[in-house]
Structure 1
């Protein structure tokens, strides 16, 4: 269906692809992986024709319909969300637009003399619209939007009033409704809550067409893809299987390559030692010459490319009291909407509590009540003895000073810390070399999240409250964070839609439901096993 044939591509002085080849066949669902900046977005643009390779060819089968979703959704306003979604449904949308135009023409007295021709054309267009399933389009559009978390009110409201995250869901729904032969999805799992993410997994698993996607959510990748294409050092490498299999295969290949490299290096050292020892002896001249020629002809095995691994180790946090936070008789409402009524909750030392609940249930509100950033309408919220809190809020990245560099930001927060210590901290969160001199204004969402995390964790609190800490983070940074937090000895209260993160760190689950707050002892994995669902909004 789509072939990349020996493509090469530069961006300024930076080489992105060197004689790289890959293919997307019918029915394949491919996860595109590689470090940030490796060229994933460039590859999408090459496939869509937005960019051209410097060398080589991008071959797309004639007549193939391609739908491309990316983070740049453009302007949306002036119509309802459901109309915006239907407008992108491919040929059926164009036929529907003509049908509406013909209906208007039939009612226009000024065009009465054309009525016969208009009616005839209307019949043909109506038949085509019916053939394409046009009359079911509104229902299908609403079904997709509902799956992505929209209420009926939001579907029929002006799309221009929606936030950026909800507009991205509209743009994604447009591609899903279109059902093209090939879907190109660049980070479709961003901005989705857990229920919407699980719905999207099922939708994509049942999609008949081919799929090429990127995602920082490994659980999502594992459920959807059956092949991985890795961008590594300008090359494209293909692996059959899901993301987990790809990781195992890649590690195995690297170990084999390292072993081959070491064997060859030992052999080369032996040959060089022989040449050095006997090169001055006439009696061994033929043997020496033979070995020199042999070394010249050997194909050298390269060592595996060193991958950047992020590592951060917590300094020991001061011990808190056994009771970390207590909520008694708490009421909280926004206008006429009741979020909590007569809520009692105790958080104990070393609990790692993940908070689940459907969109708008009050997950972030609970975190705000505990941290004191929102006051209860009634009742009390009390922190325990010796509690030192760290709070990662969804808006925390907006508070960075855009004119300060990464290193200056760390210096401002910790003026007494040694430069070597702060550079080590920056490196642990992925800011190496010249990255520390970037001003905050130019940082990506993921880089800002990493910097905020570094600021919070350098002088570690004993009570971490994290609201969607994994948003914007790539898989490598998430793994570093999970590894670090596993060693953390303090208490955690967190919201995340990343199931790998939830399963790895939780030992208690709070489910925010309309009637009450339900508590489950045990990890997220145990919660899933006990309830038979991965999220509160899902039922068997």
Structure 2
């Protein structure tokens, strides 16, 4: 269906692909993996026809339709979310636009003279709309948007007034509604809450077309794909199986290649030693010559490529008191919307609370109250003695000095730290080499989030309050963060839509529901087992 034959592609001075080949067959669900900058987005653009390879060929079967979702959503203002989602559905979206324009004309008193003609034209267009199953399309559009957590009000409101994250969801809905023969999804799990993520997972499992996707969410990837294409040093390697199988197989392949390399190196060393020892002796000339020829013919085994995986030992946090944070009789409302009505909640030392709840339940509000970023309308929020808090949320990214480079920002925050230590810290969070010379004002949202996280953990608090800390982190950085936080001995209160992160780090769950809060003594895995749901309001 989609074939990449011996493609080569260079971006600036960076070689992305060198005679690389891979294929996506009809109905296959494939995960595309590789480190940042390896060329995942470039590969999507090659398949979508937005770029051409320098050498080789990208072949797509005749008549195959391709839907490509990426992070660049473009301008959407002036339309409703429903209209914008329907906009990518082919001819029917054009007919829908004509219907809308004619409806406006019918309501325009200045066009009374033309009304007979408008009504006649409306009947023709409406008939064409029905032929194209247009009314069902709007129902499907609303269904998809509801799955992505849009309220009716948001569906019918102007997309231009939505945040970037919600616009991304509209762009994603457009591709899902289109139902092409092949979908290219570049990070579709970004900007989604847990409920939307699980809905999308189910949608993609039921999709019968071909799928090629990237995602920083390993649980999401594992549930959907049955094949992995890995970009590794310019080549494309295919693995049959999910992401977990790929990781195991890659580790096994590297182990075998390392053993093969070491065996060959030992043999070569032995042969070279013989040649060096006897090359000056005429009596051994023929043997020496024979061995030199043998060495020339041997195909050298390369050692496995070392992937950059930086581990960082974060300094231990100072010990806090037993009571870290206490909320007593807390009331909080935004206008007419009541969030909390007499909430009691306590965080104790070494407890790691995952906060669960549907959109608008008050997850971020709870974190803001605890962090002092919001005040309760009534009741008290008390932080325990000897508690040193670290709060990660959107505002942490806005506190960066735009004119400073990444390294300068780290250096000004930690003037006593050595350059080596700060470079290692930067490397852990995906800033290597010349990256540290980037000005903070040019960083993407994801890069700013990583820098803010690095600064918070270098001088660790004993109470971490984290609002979606894994957004924008790739799988390798996420794993490093999980390992670092696993050894963290303080308390944690966090919101995350990453199920791997939730399961690895929580030992308590605080669920916010319309009936009131529920406390679960175990972590996220125990919560799923006891409730039969992965997110509030959803069933397996």
TM-score, with normalisation over the residues of structure 2? Answer: 0.95
Between the aligned partners of 1:520 and 1:88, the Cα distance in structure 2 is 44
Decide whether the 8 Å contact of 2:390 with 2:463 is kept in 1: yes
Matched, 1:49 2:49: yes
Map of 1:166 onto structure 2: 166
Question: Which moved further from structure 2: 513-522 or 329-338?
Answer: 513-522
CA distance 1:54–1:520, change in 2 (3 Å): same
CA displacement at 1:517 relative to structure 2: 1.4
CA displacement at 1:525 relative to structure 2: 0.3
CA distance 1:274–1:392, change in 2 (3 Å): same
Which whole-Å deviations, capped at 9, do the CAs of 1:334-369 have from their partners, x for residues lacking one? 011000010011111000111011111110100000
CA displacement at 1:63 relative to structure 2: 1.5
Between the aligned partners of 2:150 and 2:116, the Cα distance in structure 1 is 43
CA displacement at 1:437 relative to structure 2: 1.8
Map of 1:338 onto structure 2: 338
Give 3-state SS (helix, strand or coil) of 1:395's partner.
helix
Matched, 1:515 2:515: yes
Between the aligned partners of 2:100 and 2:318, the Cα distance in structure 1 is 68
Give 3-state SS (helix, strand or coil) of 2:30's partner.
strand
Between the aligned partners of 2:133 and 2:286, the Cα distance in structure 1 is 82
Map of 2:87 onto structure 1: 87
Map of 1:226 onto structure 2: 226
Map of 1:212 onto structure 2: 212
Map of 2:316 onto structure 1: 316
Map of 1:360 onto structure 2: 360
Map of 2:287 onto structure 1: 287
CA distance 1:340–1:6, change in 2 (3 Å): same
Matched, 1:182 2:182: yes
Give 3-state SS (helix, strand or coil) of 1:49's partner.
coil
Q: Considering only aligned residues, what root-mean-square deviation do their CA atoms show, in Å?
A: 2.1
Between the aligned partners of 2:287 and 2:439, the Cα distance in structure 1 is 61
Which whole-Å deviations, capped at 9, do the CAs of 1:358-411 have from their partners, x for residues lacking one? 111110100000111101000000011110111111232122112101111111
CA displacement at 1:498 relative to structure 2: 0.2
Decide whether the 8 Å contact of 2:428 with 2:477 is kept in 1: no
Matched, 1:405 2:413: no
Between the aligned partners of 2:213 and 2:419, the Cα distance in structure 1 is 40
Between the aligned partners of 2:145 and 2:160, the Cα distance in structure 1 is 16
Decide whether the 8 Å contact of 2:310 with 2:424 is kept in 1: no
CA displacement at 1:453 relative to structure 2: 1.2
What are the within-5 Å matches in structure 2 for residues 479-494 of structure 1? Answer: 479-494=479-494
Map of 1:264 onto structure 2: 264
Map of 1:528 onto structure 2: 528
Between the aligned partners of 1:14 and 1:328, the Cα distance in structure 2 is 57
Between the aligned partners of 1:462 and 1:114, the Cα distance in structure 2 is 69
CA displacement at 1:199 relative to structure 2: 0.1
TM-score, with normalisation over the residues of structure 1? Answer: 0.95
CA displacement at 1:97 relative to structure 2: 4.3
CA displacement at 1:131 relative to structure 2: 4.6
Between the aligned partners of 2:112 and 2:241, the Cα distance in structure 1 is 59
Map of 1:136 onto structure 2: 136
Between the aligned partners of 1:101 and 1:450, the Cα distance in structure 2 is 46
Matched, 1:237 2:237: yes
CA displacement at 1:129 relative to structure 2: 4.1
What are the within-5 Å matches in structure 2 for residues 300-449 of structure 1? Answer: 300-449=300-449
Map of 1:503 onto structure 2: 503
Between the aligned partners of 1:474 and 1:428, the Cα distance in structure 2 is 11
CA displacement at 1:79 relative to structure 2: 1.9
Give 3-state SS (helix, strand or coil) of 2:246's partner.
helix
Between the aligned partners of 1:430 and 1:112, the Cα distance in structure 2 is 65
CA distance 1:496–1:17, change in 2 (3 Å): same
What are the within-5 Å matches in structure 2 for residues 452-467 of structure 1? Answer: 452-467=452-467
Between the aligned partners of 1:333 and 1:101, the Cα distance in structure 2 is 41
Decide whether the 8 Å contact of 2:520 with 2:527 is kept in 1: yes
Give 3-state SS (helix, strand or coil) of 1:306's partner.
coil
CA displacement at 1:115 relative to structure 2: 9.9
CA displacement at 1:449 relative to structure 2: 1.9
Between the aligned partners of 2:132 and 2:24, the Cα distance in structure 1 is 27
Gapped regions of structure 2 (runs ≥ 5): none
CA distance 1:98–1:63, change in 2 (3 Å): farther
Which whole-Å deviations, capped at 9, do the CAs of 1:182-201 have from their partners, x for residues lacking one? 11111100000000000000
Between the aligned partners of 2:253 and 2:127, the Cα distance in structure 1 is 56
Between the aligned partners of 1:266 and 1:113, the Cα distance in structure 2 is 89
Which whole-Å deviations, capped at 9, do the CAs of 1:224-262 have from their partners, x for residues lacking one? 111111111111111111111111111111111111101
Give 3-state SS (helix, strand or coil) of 1:63's partner.
coil
Decide whether the 8 Å contact of 1:394 with 1:468 is kept in 2: no
Between the aligned partners of 2:85 and 2:2, the Cα distance in structure 1 is 26
Between the aligned partners of 1:333 and 1:170, the Cα distance in structure 2 is 29
Gapped regions of structure 1 (runs ≥ 5): none
Decide whether the 8 Å contact of 2:142 with 2:155 is kept in 1: yes
Between the aligned partners of 1:42 and 1:312, the Cα distance in structure 2 is 31
Between the aligned partners of 2:166 and 2:403, the Cα distance in structure 1 is 29
CA displacement at 1:459 relative to structure 2: 1.3
Between the aligned partners of 2:284 and 2:41, the Cα distance in structure 1 is 58
Between the aligned partners of 1:115 and 1:458, the Cα distance in structure 2 is 69
